[in-house]
């Protein structure tokens, strides 16, 4: 951290020498927001497609730096430190610039950033009310989908909040498995469309609903080429840790909804949140499959419904139920899989910057990644240091 502070100070000094007037115009130009999020846990079992093995462990430790670049652009860098199989890994989750002064409600973001599809995806993991993302996210988006690309967003001048956007990404983490290295993937593989609308219901309630579409040019599997050995299959499964999707397809359709309530709109002392999302992933196999090789269903699907109630400023409780119904490629044919997760959480918040969470998860699996019925208990802490921006709706 000493090295980071030194570099930031040198950048600030250089800016001052080049243009001393910048100090007076905008303090964020020479005083960027720096933050860190500490995440640790103890867990009694292993969850499928999750990055938190059983026992003691560290979740994502997040380091972020953000600031207005000038009156036209904003920039942010987020690095994530993770532990995996005893090794420490440093991943770059965000490194983007965004326009601040485009007319007519438009904005452009470019670089590496979280996609705005769905409700949860554009939020960092430490803001969640449960220890892991729902199984639908872990299966189809690798937990949370971030990528290198560009976004054009538009906020309409309407009484209701209404935003829509289009994104184009490299799409490497959403590519179908290619264990033999024989496929030619497109360099720009993912395109998304989304629209979200929301508003208030009196003084106490608010809501938001959204629709999303993701086109994955590299998402179709090729079972007639899949004859991997057991070791190769394990290597493909091990790719899950790099936030890669385990189940892909050419077309992903999503719908989301969230409702929030707080007395007089004051969320500090008491509030309720109810949210849910549904994903359907289709066209994941070629159309010329032999009938005996075709999957029992021509789509994957997953959904969740959750509710979190903060009944005092220091305590909140949540319940969540989710399912994933998928088809797994095995040699040259498919196996049907299903996983159901029921979860209950209780969290203590010493302040807005610190959370200790207790969670119980019951999972019921049918041929899903070798998981059978299990009960898992988790204790997690999340502590934020430094600048901490407001959470998204």
What's the rounded mean pLDDT across residues 200-206? 94
What's the rounded mean pLDDT across residues 275-294? 80
Asked, for residue 59, whether it belongs to a domain, the answer is: no
- C-alpha dihedral, 267 to 268 to 271 to 274, nearest 10°: 60
* More confident position, 355 or 240: 355
Query: Given pLDDT bands bounded at 50, 70 and 90, which one contains residue 31?
Result: confident
Residues 108 and 26 in one domain: no
Within 13 Å of residue 296, how many CA atoms lie on the same side as its CB? 8
Q: How far is CA 280 from the centre of its chain?
A: 17
Is residue 1's pLDDT more than 50?
no
Q: Which helix (H) or strand (E) holds 91?
A: strand 87-99
pLDDT at 179: 66
Is residue 3's pLDDT more than 50?
no
Residues 24 and 153 in one domain: no
Is residue 374's pLDDT more than 60?
yes
Mean pLDDT (the chain) is: 85
pLDDT at 14: 35
pLDDT at 177: 81
Distances in Å between the alpha carbon of 164 and those of 68, 297, 336, 374?
Answer: 24, 32, 35, 41
> For residue 303, what is the domain's CATH number?
2.40.160.10
The total number of structural domains that make up the chain = 2
pLDDT at 257: 98
Residues 141 and 1 in one domain: no
Residues 148 and 10 in one domain: no
The total number of residues shown for the chain amounts to 393
d(CA 324, CA 299): 11
Asked, for residue 90, whether it belongs to a domain, the answer is: no
What's the rounded mean pLDDT across residues 192-198? 98
Residues 150 and 281 in one domain: yes
Asked, for residue 313, whether it belongs to a domain, the answer is: yes
Residue 4 structural domain: 1-31
DSSP state of 20: T
d(CA 174, CA 294): 22
Sequence-ordered list of residues with C-beta below 8 angstroms from that of 333, at least 6 positions apart, any chain: 223, 292, 293
Q: Which helix (H) or strand (E) holds 146?
A: strand 146-155
pLDDT at 291: 58
What's the rounded mean pLDDT across residues 110-136? 96
Asked, for residue 96, whether it belongs to a domain, the answer is: no
Asked, for residue 92, whether it belongs to a domain, the answer is: no
Asked, for residue 65, whether it belongs to a domain, the answer is: no
pLDDT at 352: 87
d(CA 173, CA 91): 13
Asked, for residue 197, whether it belongs to a domain, the answer is: yes
Asked, for residue 287, whether it belongs to a domain, the answer is: yes
Sequence-ordered list of residues with C-beta below 8 angstroms from that of 381, at least 6 positions apart, any chain: 38, 39, 40, 41, 354, 355, 356, 357
pLDDT at 265: 85
d(CA 382, CA 393): 20
DSSP state of 289: -
Judging by DSSP bridges, how do beta strands 61-68 and 271-282 pair with one another? unpaired
**Alpha helix segments (H runs only) across the chain:** 2-18, 21-25, 135-140, 230-238
What's the rounded mean pLDDT across residues 22-45? 75
φ and ψ of 355, to 5 deg: -140, 135
Residues 223 and 360 in one domain: yes
DSSP state of 263: G
* More confident position, 183 or 10: 183
Residues 192 and 296 in one domain: yes
Is residue 335's pLDDT more than 70?
yes
Residues 132 and 269 in one domain: yes
Copy the structure tokens of residue 186.
């497109």
Residues 334 and 188 in one domain: yes
What are the tens digits of pLDDT across the range 155-166? 999 999 999 999
Residues 167 and 299 in one domain: yes
Contact 100, 72 (CB under 8 A): yes
pLDDT at 221: 84
Residues 119 and 213 in one domain: yes
Look at 109-123, 143-157, 248-262, 369-383 and tell me which has the smallest mean pLDDT: 369-383
Residues 4 and 108 in one domain: no
d(CA 138, CA 246): 8
């Amino acid at each position: 951290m000493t090295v980071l502070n030194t570099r930031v100070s040198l950048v600030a000094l250089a800016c001052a020498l080049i243009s001393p007037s910048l100090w007076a115009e905008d303090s964020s130009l020479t005083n960027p927001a720096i933050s860190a999020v500490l995440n640790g846990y103890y867990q009694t079992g292993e969850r499928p497609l999750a990055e938190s093995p059983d026992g003691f462990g560290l979740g994502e430790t997040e380091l972020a730096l953000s600031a207005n670049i000038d009156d036209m652009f904003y920039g942010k860098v987020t690095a994530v430190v993770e532990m995996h199989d005893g090794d420490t890994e440093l991943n770059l989750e965000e490194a983007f610039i965004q326009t601040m002064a485009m007319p007519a409600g438009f904005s452009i973001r470019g670089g590496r950033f979280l996609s705005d599809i769905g409700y949860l995806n554009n939020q960092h993991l430490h803001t969640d009310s449960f220890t892991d993302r729902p199984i639908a996210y872990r299966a189809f988006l690798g937990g949370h989908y971030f990528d290198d690309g560009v976004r054009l967003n538009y906020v309409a001048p309407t009484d209701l909040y209404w935003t829509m956007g289009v994104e184009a990404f490299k799409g490497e983490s959403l590519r179908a498995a290619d264990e033999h290295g024989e496929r030619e993937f497109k360099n720009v593989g993912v395109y998304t469309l989304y629209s979200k609308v929301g508003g208030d219901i009196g003084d106490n309630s608010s809501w938001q609903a959204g629709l999303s579409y993701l086109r994955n040019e590299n998402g179709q599997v090729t079972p007639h080429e899949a004859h991997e050995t057991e070791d190769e299959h394990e290597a493909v499964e091990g790719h899950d840790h790099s936030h890669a999707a385990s189940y892909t397809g050419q077309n992903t359709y999503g719908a989301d909804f969230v409702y929030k309530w707080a007395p007089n709109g004051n969320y500090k002392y008491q509030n309720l949140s109810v949210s849910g999302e549904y994903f359907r992933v289709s066209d994941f196999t070629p159309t010329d499959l032999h009938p005996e090789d075709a999957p029992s269903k021509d789509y994957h699907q997953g959904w969740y419904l959750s509710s979190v109630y903060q009944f005092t400023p220091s305590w909140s409780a949540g319940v969540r139920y989710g399912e994933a119904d998928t088809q797994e490629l095995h040699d040259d044919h498919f196996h049907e899989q299903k996983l159901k997760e029921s979860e209950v959480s209780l969290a203590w918040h010493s302040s807005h910057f610190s959370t200790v969470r207790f969670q119980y998860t019951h999972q019921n699996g049918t041929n899903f990644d070798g998981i059978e019925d299990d009960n898992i208990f988790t204790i997690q802490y999340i502590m934020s240091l430094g600048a901490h921006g407001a959470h998204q709706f």
